[in-house]
Amino acid sequence: MAEPRRSALQRVRSASLLLGPAFVAAIAYVDPGNVASNISAGAQFGYLLVWVIVMANVMAGLVQFLSAKLGLVTGMSLPEAVRAKSSRGVRLSYWAQAETVAMATDLAEVVGGAIALNLLFGLPLLVGGVITGAVSLVLLAAQNRWGQRPFERIITGMLAIIAIGFLASVVISPPSVAGTVGGLVPRFDGTESVLLAAAMIGATVMPHAVYLHSGLARDRHGNPEAGPVRARLLRITKVDVGLAMVIAGTVNMAMLLMAANTLRGREGIDSIEAAHGAVHDVLGPGAALLLAIGLLASGLASTSVGAYAGAMIMQGLLKRHIPLIVRRVVTLVPALAILALGIDPTRALIVSQVVLSFGIPFALIPLVRFTADRALMGADVNHRVTTGLAWLVAAIISVLNVALIYLTVTGG
């Protein structure tokens, strides 16, 4: 009886060693843009937008699995597949929007790290931004030197720190069960709630994570032939994505519920710094410290993953390799300019997430098309139901963005 049990444990251990790519991609779902969007949503509207967190996380799980599947089955990252299927002019235009999204991503992550260093050590925001960028460069250099597996372990460790940092406040002061359940009913309350919903989706279903995951899965697992090995890897990838999305979704929900429970109705909660101060006053210095540490880990990890994604996008679309330090400096410029000019960092974070939400269709549409193409995917082509759901995700996001533009222009 003991031998089958050992065999089962060995199979579980063997499968667990193949987990990891989705946890790297999941860092994009708990970056400082999420913190700003979710805390703002909870502080302003209470439990109203709980449903957005749930919807965005479900959509993200489907999208990330399709991205990983594309890499495993075709041996191409999503940017490489776009390049293979498009003309030079289209590739250049596509790269331009993808780079804009990458810079918006960097803005959120560097500004978030700077805010955390300010809260923890009183450092000026500009100095904190430079330190955040420098640490991300060190993490990327470690990935270049030691490979993907150690990088995955480092990022997964930071994901654990982020989870502890943001879940602590919810454990200390549990939110209203009735309010949380009531927030699952989809609805809005004016233009600002639509803006925040778009920001929350932009911070969850992030374009650079969609591009990146296809390359991560390919680089980790290779391009196995159709058969039992590929089928097993696809099953393990579903587990990888599922676990990563559960963790990311739980952290995002904790951010919103903490703000709805602790910050709702309090005056002057219009920034992460103010939210941190309110948590300190209401829940104590321990909860505030953990929140700041979680924010710092979020900024450091996510800016590293974002730069990694940017390099993969450029390499895939243009077949151009730019030295890491040059690329890091270029993408840091907008974020450091925001900090140097004294622009409200929390508002900049939210606006950056709206920019990201407009980049989502450019990642989703080709992803769905490619994974629904039998000539490209063979026996692993999407089921019709999967393709239908994926198109629905793209449509929901596009409609939300159109509504956002309309309500913003007309004033609601």
Give per-residue pLDDT as tens, 276-312: 998 999 899 999 999 999 999 999 998 888 888 888 8
**Statement: residue 315 has pLDDT above 70:** yes
Give per-residue pLDDT as tens, 20-44: 788 998 888 888 878 888 988 999 9
Which residue in 118, 145, 156 sits closest to 292, CA to CA?
118
Give per-residue pLDDT as tens, 366-401: 999 999 999 999 999 999 999 999 999 888 877 776
**Statement: residue 124 has pLDDT above 80:** yes
The C-alpha atoms of residue 106 and residue 112 are separated, in whole angstroms, by 10
The C-alpha atoms of residue 188 and residue 193 are separated, in whole angstroms, by 6
Q: CA angle 300-153-161, nearest 5°?
A: 50
Task: Please state the pTM of the whole predicted model.
Answer: 0.89
Q: What sign for the dihedral angle of Cα 393, 394, 400, 404?
A: positive
Let me know: does 149 contact 23? Beta carbons within 8 Å.
no
For range 154-174, the mean pLDDT: 92
Please count the other Cβ atoms lying within 10 Å of the Cβ belonging to residue 326: 9
pLDDT on residue 28: 83
Task: Return the CATH number of 22-258+267-368, one of 1.20.1740.10, 3.30.2290.10, 3.40.50.10860, 3.30.470.20.
Answer: 1.20.1740.10
**Statement: residue 169 has pLDDT above 70:** yes
**Statement: residue 53 has pLDDT above 80:** yes
**Statement: residue 2 has pLDDT above 50:** no
The C-alpha atoms of residue 138 and residue 155 are separated, in whole angstroms, by 13
